[in-house]
Amino acid sequence: MKKVGFFRSIQLKFIIIYILLLLIAIQVIGSFFTSELEDNLMSSFESSIYDRVELLSSNVEQAFERQRDADDPNVPTKEEEIKSIVSGIDPSDITSLQVIDNQSRVIASNGLNADDEVNRKINDKHIQSALMNNSQSSGRHLIDSDRYFVLAQPILDDDDENIILGVIYLRASLEPVYDQLNDINEIFLQGSILAITVSAIIGILVARTITKPIIEMRRQAQKMATGDFTQKVNVYGRDEIGHLSETFNDLNNQLKHSYATIEEERRKLSSVLSNMSDGVIATDNGGAVTLINDAAGRLIGYNPDDIIGEFLLDLLQLEEKVVDIAELQESGSMIIDFSDDEQESIIRANFSTVFDDEDEVTGFITVISDVTEQEKVEAERREFVSNVSHELRTPLTTMKSYIEALNDGAWEDKEIAPKFLAVAQNETERMIRMVNDLLQLSKMDAQEYPLQKERTDFISYYHHIIDRFEMHTPKGIHLQRELPKGNYNVWMDKDKMTQVLDNIISNAIKYSPEGGTIKLGVEHKRHHLLISIQDQGMGIAYDKVDKIFERFYRADKARTRKLGGTGLGLAIAKELVEAHHGQIWAKSKEGKGTTIYFTLPLMNQKRRGA
């Protein structure tokens, strides 16, 4: 997680907002204060001017109305008296003062060029307004970059207020008022800057106090994101931030518990997926692989890390069977053949759909399992049923036809009837042998065929078996013994081993040509005996040698049936040899005969002592 810089932190934002609010408050207060102060100063200034003008107006009015003796030189004229009144006005505030008669002519002035201004006619709008309207006229004006207050006060006759004797016209500079206002504003600005500075420092401290728990919670959240739930956030108070810190600590505890539970479940799931013999493939709703275990990778022949994101239908070779991934919702289960020229591989895929809370499809789960052996067993079962049916149908058909012939009258023929009965008897005996062999195989498959083992000298036992066969061997077939001298003890069931040897030697005699030799040998190996029976028959094709131990398999079916074979002898021999912890196999070349080999373990010293 990226570290938040100071210029992006909430602390700086809080300080800026705090200062902005303070500035806005000061600005509002300053604007109101300045406006009110300006109004008050102007009101005071104008009130002072009005008071002085009233006094001046009263004096000038008396001067206008005073009766004078023209012959008395000691009596001043009206102009002189008015000029004297005007010159006595303090010029500190009033920069220009003029007394004008009702003809708009200047009678007296306090200006620097007062004498030049006397008798000059003035057409100022304020003067004209006062003369015409018989009312006071005033205003503020900017004259030569300076601000002035202009006032035109009419002088009225006491006896008749409608008679205007003249006008008092003055200009008072407003610059002292504005200078005073500027001085006050500067003082206010300095105070504002000081207040903002102090407030900013206080704001920084307050912001740090408020944001410190938030910063700690952010750091803790970063640690929690990495799976570290050991730290706690300090609680600095009982306010909202304090309650937030307590809630954050509670959240930390809950997440710690939830994370531990999820991690435990994840480890369990990972262990289950890793140790499952079945493959599991998870995809999103579009069919892209999001999860696959090692078993699935082995079954479909891909590295699990390389197929994340691949399309499920491509991996399972279902492009031709399934057009849309949504069809998997209805398929449920499917058999897929991954066999090639080198290896047979058949898998079963079971599809299930993952839904969210709104019953929308969010993905698919595919469980695949190796059913190659099951399919082989099923194929062998079907083949076995077919073979049994075929093997039983042939003698039953033969018996049926002969019995029908006997029923049709052949039993009365003394020459044909015995032959038909003999054939029926032979076929019946062959079916009995077949059924007995099947029962024996069934018992061995169900492990209900116990062996009665005993210590046996195999060489003398083998001589006894060969002697028995020599008494019934057809003429022209020679049994050649290649047996070592000495005693070689094995732990075996004599009856079951006799059945093994009878089946193998009988087959060798059946397939040996007239005048052929059957070699019966034994070789001593380190821990076992290697027994071999070699004939000089027609031999077996290379690709069919391993099949002769399968049930009902015959290299030459016609000849085997003719000789009364059931096709189960070598299968029984294989089961019995393996029950004695041995192995059995065959070697053959077409036209050069077949050799059957099997091994029997020799008894060790411990068993010999027993």
Backbone angles phi, psi at 507, to 5 degrees: -65, -40
Show contacts of 354-357: CB within 8 Å, 24+ apart.
354/282
Confidence class for position 520, pLDDT limits 50, 70, 90? very high
Q: Check residue 30 and give its pLDDT.
A: 83
Confidence class for position 69, pLDDT limits 50, 70, 90? low
Tracing tokens 């504003």 back to the chain, one arrives at 185
Measured CA to CA, the distance from residue 76 to residue 260 in angstroms comes to 116
183-231 pLDDT per residue, tens: 888 888 888 888 888 888 887 787 777 777 777 777 878 887 787 777 7
Q: Check residue 91 and give its pLDDT.
A: 63
89-105 pLDDT per residue, tens: 766 677 778 888 878 88
End-to-end CA separation in angstroms for the chain: 76
- Nearby residues of 468 by Cβ (< 8 Å), 6 or more positions away: none
> Which of 359, 296, 295 is closest to 329 using CA atoms?
359
Q: Would you say 484 and 524 are in contact if contact means Cβ atoms under 8 Å apart?
A: yes
Confidence class for position 62, pLDDT limits 50, 70, 90? confident
227-273 pLDDT per residue, tens: 777 778 777 777 777 788 888 888 888 888 888 888 888 888 777 77
Q: Would you say 201 and 9 are in contact if contact means Cβ atoms under 8 Å apart?
A: no
Q: What is the pTM of this model?
A: 0.42
Q: Check residue 437 and give its pLDDT.
A: 67
Average pLDDT, the chain: 79
Burial of 562 (0-12, 13-18, 19+ CB in 10 A): exposed
Token pair of 275 as six digits: 């140790």
Token pair of 289 as six digits: 């692989």
- Range with the poorest average pLDDT among 4-13, 77-86, 343-352: 4-13
Measured CA to CA, the distance from residue 183 to residue 115 in angstroms comes to 38
Confidence class for position 610, pLDDT limits 50, 70, 90? very low
Q: Check residue 607 and give its pLDDT.
A: 44
Measured CA to CA, the distance from residue 522 to residue 530 in angstroms comes to 6
Helix H, strand E, coil C: the string for 163-202 is: CEEEEEEEEEECHHHHHHHHHHHHHHHHHHHHHHHHHHHH
125-157 pLDDT per residue, tens: 888 888 888 888 888 888 877 888 888 888 887
Distance of CA 199 to the CA centre of its chain: 49
Would you list the DSSP string of 72-140? Answer: -TTSPPHHHHHHHHHHTS-TTTEEEEEEEETTSBEEEE-STTHHHHTT-B---HHHHHHHHHSS-EEEE
Using CA atoms, how far residue 345 sits from 298, 338, 382, 592, in Å, is 11, 5, 19, 36
Share of the chain above pLDDT 70, in %: 84
Q: Would you say 167 and 100 are in contact if contact means Cβ atoms under 8 Å apart?
A: yes
> Which of 430, 569, 590 is closest to 504 using CA atoms?
569
Q: Check residue 461 and give its pLDDT.
A: 92
> Which of 297, 305, 303, 384 is closest to 568 using CA atoms?
384
Confidence class for position 526, pLDDT limits 50, 70, 90? confident
Q: Check residue 420 and give its pLDDT.
A: 78
- Nearby residues of 528 by Cβ (< 8 Å), 6 or more positions away: 582, 599, 600, 601, 602
> Which of 437, 557, 443 is closest to 499 using CA atoms?
437
How many C-beta neighbours within 10 Å does residue 571 have? Answer: 21
Assess whether pLDDT exceeds 70 at residue 441.
no
Per-residue pLDDT, averaged over 4-15, amounts to 64
Measured CA to CA, the distance from residue 575 to residue 447 in angstroms comes to 11
Tracing tokens 């032959």 back to the chain, one arrives at 419
- Range with the poorest average pLDDT among 63-72, 291-300, 352-361, 443-452: 63-72
Assess whether pLDDT exceeds 90 at residue 27.
no
Angle between helices 458-470 and 494-511 (to 10 degrees): 40
Q: Check residue 606 and give its pLDDT.
A: 42
Angle of CA points 89, 92, 93, to nearest 5°: 90
565-574 pLDDT per residue, tens: 556 778 878 8
Q: Would you say 484 and 521 are in contact if contact means Cβ atoms under 8 Å apart?
A: no
Q: Check residue 411 and give its pLDDT.
A: 77
Token pair of 193 as six digits: 């800057």
Q: Check residue 8 and give its pLDDT.
A: 60
Assess whether pLDDT exceeds 70 at residue 582.
yes
Q: Would you say 220 and 233 are in contact if contact means Cβ atoms under 8 Å apart?
A: yes
Q: Check residue 39 and give its pLDDT.
A: 86
Burial of 497 (0-12, 13-18, 19+ CB in 10 A): buried
Measured CA to CA, the distance from residue 517 to residue 520 in angstroms comes to 10
Measured CA to CA, the distance from residue 186 to residue 380 in angstroms comes to 110
Token pair of 196 as six digits: 């903002």
> Which of 532, 515, 514, 524 is closest to 594 using CA atoms?
532
Q: Would you say 203 and 14 are in contact if contact means Cβ atoms under 8 Å apart?
A: yes
Q: Check residue 399 and give its pLDDT.
A: 77
Per-residue pLDDT, averaged over 455-473, amounts to 89
Confidence class for position 440, pLDDT limits 50, 70, 90? low
586-605 pLDDT per residue, tens: 998 888 889 999 999 998 74
